A and B are shown apart, each in its own frame.
Chain A
Amino acid sequence: MVEPLLSVTGLLKRFGGLVATDNVSLDVREGEIHALIGPNGAGKTTLVHQLTGQLAPDAGSVRFAGLDITRLATPQRARLGMARSYQITSVLRDFTAEDNVAIAVQAHRGHSFRFFADARHDASLRVPARAGLAAVGLDARADTLAANLSHGEQRQLEIAMALAGAPRLLLLDEPMAGMGPDESQRMIALLAGLKERRGILLIEHDMEAVFRLADRITVLVYGRAIATGTPDEIRRDPAVREAYLGDEAMPC
């Protein structure tokens, strides 16, 4: 069997007496969207932080693209092909939209200890940056400061930044948070086209989006993965209904 792109085994993280990640195992295969759902405080973002290296787990391992990356620092993981977007929008607010994507492209072009060449007119950064903006539909806003973009546009910009390095794994932490219905629909269409040749771990509260996009779903409650399966299996799972979804919240 082919090894999954990302496999998490027995991950454990404690904050004092609180077990934020309780022996979680899951994997993300190439070409699939694996959604991670769970009520607020279930430990979804804490889990993502351990995948990107911002938090060190107390036990367990993370393998990515055939390597044990449990002890690697965040930038090293990023250069292996792991990109993320943040639950709370995290862009470079003082940079233009284009500069935001250009710096993301630059991150994958070897070291940046270059003190003299003009990065503002470096075609090897600018051309892919503009293409990346066009891919998320932001090409008209290239010269706008990120701080002046609308909330939805900033979310789109984050996706463009995450895609800039042609990552093999995308960790998307609530990409639809705070979006209006129209913006959400556009984001769903965008995400659906992204899973070719890569894996996506999607954290999302918008159940309509999750059930439309996900190939598999893992449900996290109080730090524990209580179920993993296809959207149909999750929908039928009594434990999930009990713990989380509630009958009225079930999309049909």
Chain B
Amino acid sequence: MIQALRTRRGLVVIALAALAIALPLLTQAFDQRYLLSIGTRVVIWSIAAASLNLILGYGGMVSFGHAVFFGIGGYAVGILGHHGVVLGWVQWPVGVLAAALWAAAIGALSLRTRGVYFIMITLAFSQLVYYVGVGLEAYGADDGLNISRSRFPGLIDLRDRAAFYWLCLALLGLVLWFSARFANSHFGFVLRGAKSNDVRMASLGFPVFRYRLAAFTISGALGGLSGVLLANHDAYISPAMMSWVKSGDLIVIVVLGGMGTVFGPVWGTVAFFVLEESLKPVIDLFRKGWGEYWQIVFGPILILIALYAKGGIDSLLGGRRDGGGGHG
């Protein structure tokens, strides 16, 4: 903690964490409940981005179907709730496990491919689940389904927006802590080694496929957790949760924030939401109704970051402490 204050990154993290913890109090004081809702979404998306970062950032696996885990986690909550199983103690583990199982299954197939083929096959599998969601007439099909939030009797009421926000924030903290341990663990070293040179890792004696599959499964499980949270935030599920556009957004967020860094997914999510929320009204000022096309401005910003800040936003905060393989 004391040491963290000595680096720019440490200061930013602590300041942002303090602001994040105080956010519900601030939004209440200034009567801006809409902001708390955005804050909660930022936290949930950060969890999803951090889970994608485990495979994309540390493992170099460009999975173009990560939003599918929003959907699996979300539909687990929604479908169970629809049939009267409202206990979070049941819904949440089912959501996370279902996501992990699906990740293990598609990982076992798609991790046998490389490069563009891997991107396409993960996209194809996520589209498959998307259209299953569209076909689920019993659960609202295209229109989605209003759901009731998970119940944790005697522990927490998720309808309390501030309490729910803090719960999500605590879970994000846990996920980031896990990422940091993961990155420097024996497993993390193997995964990063395989990203750097997988042929070499195999000839050293590592069954690379197994390690990648394990990482893919863990990533899917945490992605499922973010889906569980998203469904509880929106009190609504629909196939749109897992559209390929959302998968693309997640990749953009991870790259924007800094691949293979612990906090990069958070920076990326914050930047993405701040730009989305601010570009829309600003563009509307110039020309009414054009705010919808905020991505026309967002795109060039991304290109600039890709060109001039290769390590993403995280690299602007000074030398990398994690990822890579460098010391210091």
State in angstroms the CA–CA spacing of A90 and B189 once bound together: 17
One of B194-202, B247-255, B276-284 at the interface:
B194-202
CB-defined interface of B75-92 with A at 8 Å, one 1/0 digit per residue? Answer: 000000000000000000
The answer to the question of B207 belonging to the interface, with a C-beta cut-off of 8 Å to chain A, is: yes
Q: How many chain B residues touch the partner (CB < 8 A)?
A: 31
The answer to the question of A56 belonging to the interface, with a C-beta cut-off of 8 Å to chain B, is: no
Contact between chains at A90 and B185 (CB < 8 Å): no
Which residues of chain B from 102 to 126 have any CB-CB distance to chain A below 8 Å in the complex?
Answer: none
Closest residue of B by beta carbon distance from A122 = B186
State in angstroms the CA–CA spacing of A145 and B327 once bound together: 10
The answer to the question of A96 belonging to the interface, with a C-beta cut-off of 8 Å to chain B, is: yes
Question: Hey, which chain A residues are within 8 Å of B178, CB to CB?
Answer: 115
Closest residue of A by beta carbon distance from B328 = A143
Shortest Cβ gap from B35 to chain A (Å): 36
How many chain A residues sit at the interface, stated as a range, is 35 or more
A115-B181, A118-B184, A120-B184 given as contacts; is B325 within 8 A of A104 (CB)? no
CB-defined interface of B166-210 with A at 8 Å, one 1/0 digit per residue? Answer: 000000000000100110111111101101110111111111100
State in angstroms the CA–CA spacing of A104 and B206 once bound together: 9
One of A2-10, A72-80, A188-196, A203-211 at the interface:
A72-80
State in angstroms the CA–CA spacing of A245 and B197 once bound together: 36
Tell me if B's interface is mostly helix, strand, loop or mixed. Answer: helix
Contact between chains at A95 and B196 (CB < 8 Å): yes
Question: Hey, which chain B residues are within 8 Å of A86, CB to CB?
Answer: 200
Question: Hey, which chain B residues are within 8 Å of A96, CB to CB?
Answer: 325-327
Which residues of chain A from 51 to 86 have any CB-CB distance to chain B below 8 Å in the complex?
Answer: 52, 54, 73-75, 78-79, 83-84, 86
The answer to the question of A119 belonging to the interface, with a C-beta cut-off of 8 Å to chain B, is: yes
Contact between chains at B205 and A103 (CB < 8 Å): no
Contact between chains at A107 and B206 (CB < 8 Å): yes
Contact between chains at B205 and A94 (CB < 8 Å): no
Question: Hey, which chain B residues are within 8 Å of A116, CB to CB?
Answer: 181, 185
Contact between chains at B186 and A114 (CB < 8 Å): yes
Question: Hey, which chain A residues are within 8 Å of B197, CB to CB?
Answer: 90-93
Question: Hey, which chain B residues are within 8 Å of A52, CB to CB?
Answer: 203
Question: Hey, which chain B residues are within 8 Å of A112, CB to CB?
Answer: 186-187, 189-190, 206, 211
Shortest Cβ gap from A34 to chain B (Å): 20
The answer to the question of A165 belonging to the interface, with a C-beta cut-off of 8 Å to chain B, is: yes
The answer to the question of A22 belonging to the interface, with a C-beta cut-off of 8 Å to chain B, is: no
Shortest Cβ gap from A42 to chain B (Å): 22
State in angstroms the CA–CA spacing of A73 and B202 once bound together: 9
Shortest Cβ gap from A150 to chain B (Å): 18
Contact between chains at A92 and B326 (CB < 8 Å): no
Contact between chains at A78 and B187 (CB < 8 Å): no
Contact of B188 among A119, A143, A165 (CB under 8 A): A119
Which residues of chain B from 38 to 72 have any CB-CB distance to chain A below 8 Å in the complex?
Answer: none
A contact residues vs B (CB 8 Å cutoff): 52, 54, 73-75, 78-79, 83-84, 86, 90-96, 99, 102-104, 106-108, 112-120, 122, 143, 145, 161, 165
Query: What are 23 pairs between A and B in contact, CB < 8 Å?
Result: A75-B208, A92-B325, A93-B196, A94-B195, A94-B196, A95-B196, A96-B325, A99-B325, A103-B189, A104-B204, A108-B205, A112-B206, A112-B211, A114-B185, A115-B178, A118-B181, A118-B184, A118-B185, A119-B188, A120-B184, A122-B186, A143-B327, A145-B326
